[in-house]
Amino acid sequence: MGGVTLSEWIDVTWTIHHNLPVWPGENQPVLDQVSTVEADGVQGTRLAFGAHTGTHIDAPRHFIAGGATIDEIPLDVLIGPCLLVDHQSEGPVIEATDLEKINWDGVKRVVFRTKSAFFAMEGDFRPDYVGLGLDAAEFLVAKGVQLVGMDYLSVERFESQSDFPVHKALLGAGVVVIEGLKLKDLAPGYYELVALPLLLEGSEGSPARVLMRPLK
């Protein structure tokens, strides 16, 4: 039989575990075994973690009053061709000038691989990750991009007193954001993207399972 084989897909999702880094002020994930096969004849696990834990999707409602919630995002935004841009500068942000040399014709989804892709996703939160600058976010909106993905826990750089202008620029334009992608081993180029959140009624975000497949 023809078609795509499972081995062609790359899982770019971080495993949720007790020592996963979380945004400052958020609680660590809890995965408690409330019963075991050995003691009870069946294993059961209680889960407790925020909607923005690990690899996750931000819906517009995260910062935009009246914006779409996670259960309202169309699948045709979350599934389809995607451009992976490799940006290995030591600077803290990706600027619009870094994006101008790229051909954006027909690009509706983009993910960014930065130095943050090499951070270990365990232990303490790393505030020195790379984010998008506001001018870069506005550039992508102007180009008609519908989905933006990053390789650490936020699409914009960490600032303790931030009012999150990059989130607001993207989400306010209806752009879906994926944060916490596992991109260390991926080369730049075009991929097929599948990003599936939990179908949480009325939520502003959700953990997600995200897969990418190189397009030949």
Tell me how crowded residue 210 is: count the other CB atoms within 10 A of its CB.
24
Backbone angles phi, psi at 35, to 5 degrees: -155, 155
Q: Which residues are catalytic?
A: 62
Backbone angles phi, psi at 111, to 5 degrees: -125, 150
